[in-house]
Structures are given as structure tokens and as C-alpha cells.
């Protein structure tokens, strides 16, 4: 229920989200989705001048890919939390999972991918502009908030992690050895 109505997509689960940031994102995402539906169904203000199928299919692939990434990171977080409880101590296990090794905030990356996918599903270049400006801007503010919280919690360990792993842009490295 919370996932569907509580400002969907906008929580990483790593730290408690900023209530203000989450609220502002909710005031963005719901009108954004309404705009996409309205523009596609009635207004046609910012529709790509191509058949919608050419954007619908890639949009669905992106949206479903973003959803899959969010679910995979959720499973990694639940596994790490379970392992931490068994060991009875502070554990940074989630950050050793594959998604968190290529990007510090894969859940927010997935949120952005879902926003872009939604705009493409509805064939809207205006939606892409909104996702890339307002949506990404709000996501970056929340990412900075979380980075600051994690830096306070884990101090030098987080600084070392942040130096190796990019914030949102995935960076795939070959394992050395």
C-alpha cells in the first residue's frame, strides 16, 4: 500500500527519507503522471510526431527494467538486514551487493529510469523534459540528503565507499584478479 500511494518510487530504504523531499516529490510525480495521461489522451501538446508504438515499447522496457532494479535492490537490502540481525552488529552488507557496487543509489537510479520510461510509454517529449529536469533535480536533492546521513553514520567508511562508487551513474568495473 505504501509503495503505491506514499510517493511511489521515492524511498531508498537505506536511511529514513527526508519528509519534505518525499512530500515535494509526491507533488511532482502525481501531476507528472496526470500530465502524461492527459497529453497522450486529449491535449497532444508534447507528443512525439511518430507512431506511439515506437516509444511505447522502449518505454515499457525501461519502466519494467527500473521496476526490476528496485525490486532486486529491495531483496538485497532485506538479505543484508537479515544477515545483520543474525550477527548482532553494524553491517554494511547491502553496499557489497552488485547493484550498490556499481552505483551508490541504485533505487533512485531506478526511479529516474521509471520516470523516463513513463514519458516514453505515453509518447511525450514534454514528459522527458520534466523527468530530466524536475524529477532528476528532486532525486539529486534526496541523494545528497542520504549521502550526508550516511557520512554522519559511517564516517570514513562512507567517504571511502563514495570515492569508489559513483552517485547515480552506473560504473561497471572488471573484477581484478
pLDDT digits (tens, 9 = 90+) for 106-154: 999 999 999 999 999 999 999 999 999 999 999 999 999 989 988 998 8
Q: Which residues contact 153 (CB under 8 A, 6 or more apart)?
A: 15
- Mean pLDDT (whole number) for 66-81: 85
- Domain ranges within the chain, ordered by starting residue: 53-170
Helix axes 19-38, 106-121, angle to 10 degrees: 20
**What is the rounded average pLDDT for all residues in the chain?**
84
- Find out whether 108 and 168 touch, Cβ atoms under 8 Å: yes
3-state helix, strand, coil in the chain (%, to 5): 70, 0, 25
**Contact, 76 vs 97, CB < 8 A?**
yes
Q: How confident is the model at residue 88 (pLDDT cuts 50, 70, 90)?
A: low
Q: Is residue 29 a contact partner of residue 146, using CB atoms and an 8 Å limit?
A: no
In this predicted structure, what is the pLDDT of residue 120? 98
pLDDT number for residue 6: 41
Average pLDDT, integer, range 69-86: 77
Nearest Cα to Cα of residue 147 among 113, 115, 103: 103
pLDDT tens digits for range 2-27: 344 444 455 666 677 778 888 888 89
Residues 6+ apart with CB under 8 A from 16: 149
Instruction: Check residue 126 and give its pLDDT.
Output: 97
User: What's the gap between Cα 8 and its chain centre?
Assistant: 10
Measured between alpha carbons, how far is 142 from 168 in angstroms, rounded to an integer?
A: 12
Amino acid at each position: 500500500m505504501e509503495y503505491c500511494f506514499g510517493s511511489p518510487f521515492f524511498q531508498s530504504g537505506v536511511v529514513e527519507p527526508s519528509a519534505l523531499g518525499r512530500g515535494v516529490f509526491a507533488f511532482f510525480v502525481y501531476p507528472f503522471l496526470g500530465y502524461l495521461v492527459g497529453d497522450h489522451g486529449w491535449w497532444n501538446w508534447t507528443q512525439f510526431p511518430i507512431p506511439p508504438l515506437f516509444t511505447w515499447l522502449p518505454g515499457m522496457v525501461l519502466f519494467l527494467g527500473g521496476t526490476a532494479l528496485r525490486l532486486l535492490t529491495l531483496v538485497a537490502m532485506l538479505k543484508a538486514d537479515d544477515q545483520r540481525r543474525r550477527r548482532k552488529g553494524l553491517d554494511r552488507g547491502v553496499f557489497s551487493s552488485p547493484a550498490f557496487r556499481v552505483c551508490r543509489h541504485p533505487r533512485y537510479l531506478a526511479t529516474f529510469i521509471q520516470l523516463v520510461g513513463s514519458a516514453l510509454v505515453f509518447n511525450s517529449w514534454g514528459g522527458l523534459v520534466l523527468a530530466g529536469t524536475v524529477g532528476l533535480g528532486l532525486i539529486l536533492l534526496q541523494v545528497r540528503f542520504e549521502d550526508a546521513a550516511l557520512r554522519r553514520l559511517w564516517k570514513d567508511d562512507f567517504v571511502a565507499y563514495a570515492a569508489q562508487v559513483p552517485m547515480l551513474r552506473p560504473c561497471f568495473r572488471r573484477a581484478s584478479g
